Amino acid sequence: MADAHDVPLEVHNESVIDSGLVIYPFTRLGEETFISGPLITEHGIEKHLETLRTVKTKDTDVLLCTSMKSGTHWCHEILSMLLSQSVEYNTKGSLHHMYLEFAAYFMDKLDEVDDPRLFTIHLPLHHLPTHHVKNGYKMIYLNRNPKDRWVSNYTFLKGKLGIPDWTWDEFFDNMILKDDLFGGWFNYTREFEKAAHIKTANILPIKYEDLKLHPFSTIKKMADFINVSQTDDFIREIIEKCSFDNIKKHKYDSSRIIDPKQQSTLFRKGVIGDWKNWFTVAQNEKFDEIYKEKMKDCDVDFIYE
């Protein structure tokens, strides 16, 4: 059998840097925008989303659903170690090999990948494979306090192919207040939280801050959810291997392909509360006002410092 390392993916070839690829302007469909790329350009956004919704996954597949810049690669590595029962890095392949937006176009080749397979995606619940959701296959939903998440998005996207050279204030007006990328963080969060609460899908909610502050109990919860064996020593070893410094050294960063210098800018600080160095008092008050209105019927709390 093969592992995810063996699955080719031409769209992620380093030569894409020379092909004129840009990820902005984002592609719009109704009130949602999506990061532009070769597959959306080739197939069109509606066909692309239809392809994703009709993907047939296996009952052993695990889908890691994350809002962008919420700790995706970190959580992916933790899950990879749990599923492989090993503390070697990247045992489930580089994240981009099993990123569902790309993998959906060569699912037949993924039959060769050892079970259980681990897929990752940033799209909202209503764009995920219907087969996976309706059949109650496992999904781990990872989220992060929106203020730190937005700061992480700003520093990550800055300088990427096609992204405007926004100041923080311009980013706040054009991205945070509009909040339409992947349907918007508020919509994304409300939809997943509701589905997890009323159990219309088999979802384990995980927060970035819980992984950071309570790694042992949070990783144990993840292990129980995906039905894998674990010992206290194994979990402690995963915590050490997946510390921020170790992940930064060992986790492959496929997002280099959208950096003009092909540099890794994925891992920056990995802390809680950095938003206070970016949000002005007025911006913070404005965001809190929006949050209070948008999330008034959503029972979820985040840690901000």
Active-site residue set: 122
DSSP strand pairing (27-29 vs 118-121): unpaired
- DSSP for 219-249 reads HHHHHHHTT----HHHHHHHHHHTSHHHHHH
Neighbours of 294 (CB within 10 A): 17
Residue 108: name the closest of 58, 40, 49 by CA: 58
- Phi/psi of residue 294, nearest 5 degrees: -70, -30
- Please answer whether residues 148 and 303 qualify as being in contact, where contact means their C-beta atoms are separated by less than 8 angstroms: no
The residue to which tokens 């599923």 are assigned: 83
List Cα–Cα distances, 240 to 92, 99, 235, in angstroms: 19, 25, 9
Give the span between the Cα atoms of 65 and 72, in whole angstroms: 8
Cβ neighbours of 12 (radius 10 Å): 16
Residue 160 CB coordination number (10 Å): 17
- Residue 257's beta-bridge partner residues? none
CA–CA distances in Å: residue 24 to residues 37, 122, 135, 166, 193: 9, 17, 35, 13, 29
The partner residues of 115 in beta bridges, in order of sequence, read none
Residue 286 neighbours by CB distance under 10 Å: 15
Cα end-to-end span (Å), the chain: 45
Q: Are 64 and 72 in contact (CB under 8 A)?
A: yes
